[in-house]
Structure formats: C-alpha cells, structure tokens
Structure 1
Amino acid sequence: MKLLFINGPNANLYGLDPSGTYGQETFPDIAARCHRKAATLGVELDFRQSQDEGEIITWIQQARGHAQGVIINAAGLSYTSIAIMDALLSFDGPVIEVHMSNIHRREPFRNKTYTAKAAVGSICGLGPHGYELAIQAMVNLCRT
C-alpha cells in the first residue's frame, strides 16, 4: 500500500516558529516520525512539502492509480484553494485532512477549509501526533 502525504506552504518551518503555534519538532523530525509510523504499518509513505499550489495539484492528480490514499495539510491553502479541493475530489481514494494546530481555536477565517470538503475526515490540534493518527486512520480506511 502506498500513501501520499502532502504538506503545504511554510510547513518546512515547523519547529522554527517563534510563536510556538506548531510546536518544537522540526519538519525533518516530523517526516522521520511519519516514515517510522508507516514502516510499522507496512506501508510505503511518500511524504512531500511544497510552497506551490500548482505543484500540490499536480501531485494529487499524479497520485490517481498510484496511491491508495492522500493525507494533506495544505496549510494556508486549505482556506483559499478551490483548485486543491477540486483535485482532491477527483482523487480515486480516500483523503484525510490534517492540521498541526487546532484551526477551530484560531482566527475565524481558519474555521472552515476547502480541503475538508474533499476529505472523509479531519484531524487537527494534536501536533505531530495527529500526523501519525492520520497515517493509522488512512491505513485502516484502505484495508477495509
């Protein structure tokens, strides 16, 4: 089983944000944590990050027929990108949305995401642990 895990703009700065909103773990640490989780579940994980909306859309389109599930933290694009939502809706497997912070406790504009409209479920506010939970949940969805 192959899963695609997409991270959007500024995710590469996790652990470096002085506000502490996204915790202390760096992006490479989170990537390593996710790869370890996938390995324990016996699945291949393609873990990516991009600052570019178009590149993210291309990755989603290319995943059709190659990945069994997509996990996405589109970051700031979650609130603005109808194009990413449309790409996710065209994917031929389940989609899970994940966010490091609790988007419902933040600014009002963060309370609704376009990516959630394409997802079977969303996980937010659990930091890097939420990423691991998303991988576990996706494996469960794909194996049933």
Structure 2
Amino acid sequence: MRRPHIAVLNGPNLNMLGLRQPGIYGSATLDDVEQICIQAAERLDVGIDFRQTNIEGELVSWVQECRGRFDGIVINPAAYGHTSIALLDALLAVDLPVIEVHISNIHRREAFRHHTYVSQAAIGVICGLGVRGYAHALQAITDLIEDEG
C-alpha cells in the first residue's frame, strides 16, 4: 500500500516567522514549522512536500499541480485566504481534501481577517493554536485520507 502524500503549502510573509509580529505569531521560524511537519509526517507515516511563496500565482499553480500527485492539502494561505478567489477556485478544481491552517486566531483579530475564501474549499480550519496547528492539520488530513481509502 502506497504512503499518502500531503502538500503543505504556505502563503505570503510566512518566511518572516520569528521576526514578524512575534506577539501574534510567536518566535518559531518557518524552518521550525517545517521540522514540526516532518516530525508529524514521520509519526503518521505520510510523505509531505513543504513549500512557501509570497506570490499568489505560484501558490495557485502549486495547488493545481497537486491533482493526481497528492492525496490532500494542508494550506496556510496567510493573507491570500482573505483575498484570493483564484486560490479558492484552484482548491475546488483539484478535488482533494483540504485543511486550512492559521497560526493566530483570525476571529480575534481585525474584522477583515474573519472571512477566508479558502475555508469554502476546506473540510476543516485550524486557527489560533500557533505553529502546532500544522501537526494537528496533518493528523486530521491523514485521518480523512484513511477514512476515504
């Protein structure tokens, strides 16, 4: 039986974790997040492809490339979650289970962050648990894949 493969995609400014607003996002870096995901993937016996971009079109292309190559997507769209209909359309087109992750609790922040387009394509949303939310998202997507398989 083939190991499930999960794309872990990250949007704009997440490369600035550890430097950007540590009172909101904490002191962990994107490298720390990747290590959390690698450890979770090993524990869950799944493969991951961890990526980050500041470019909306690149993120959309990565999502499109997931069709037929991955079994699920964990995505922290960052600000694009609140603005990108193109990202929503791509997620809907690939027909894969999606878990959306936000490090901060977007519902306790500015009103414009309360809505995300991505959540319309996501089976679940994890927010406010810091960088550990990624490990929870990987667990959830793995459970969903196993339940469907």
TM-score (norm 1): 0.98
The answer to whether residue 4 in structure 2 is matched with residue 4 in structure 1 is: no
Partner residue, 1:13: 16
Quick one: which amino acid aligns to residue 33 of structure 2? I
Partner residue, 1:85: 88
Partner residue, 1:100: 103
Shift of 1:19: 4.5
Structure 2 unaligned spans of 5+? none
Tell me, yes or no, if the aligned pair for 1:65 and 1:92 is still in contact at 8 Å.
no
Partner residue, 1:113: 116
Residues 19 and 35 of structure 1: is their aligned pair in 2 closer, same or farther, counting only changes over 3 Å? closer
Quick one: which amino acid aligns to residue 130 of structure 1? G
Tell me, yes or no, if the aligned pair for 2:73 and 2:98 is still in contact at 8 Å.
yes
Structure 1 runs (4+) deviating above 4 angstroms are none
The superposition leaves residues 69-118 of structure 1 with CA deviations (integer Å, 9 ceiling, x where unpaired) of 01111101110000000000011210111100000000000000000011
Partner residue, 1:62: 65
Partner residue, 2:131: 128
Structure 1 unaligned spans of 5+? none
Shift of 1:129: 1.1
Partner residue, 1:53: 56
Q: Tell me the C-alpha RMSD between the 2 structures.
A: 0.8
The answer to whether residue 144 in structure 2 is matched with residue 141 in structure 1 is: yes
The answer to whether residue 25 in structure 2 is matched with residue 38 in structure 1 is: no
Quick one: which amino acid aligns to residue 114 of structure 2? N
| Whole-angstrom distance in 2 between the partners of 1:121 and 1:33 | 20
Quick one: which amino acid aligns to residue 107 of structure 2? H
Q: Tell me, what secondary structure is at the counterpart of 1:75?
A: coil
Quick one: which amino acid aligns to residue 79 of structure 2? G
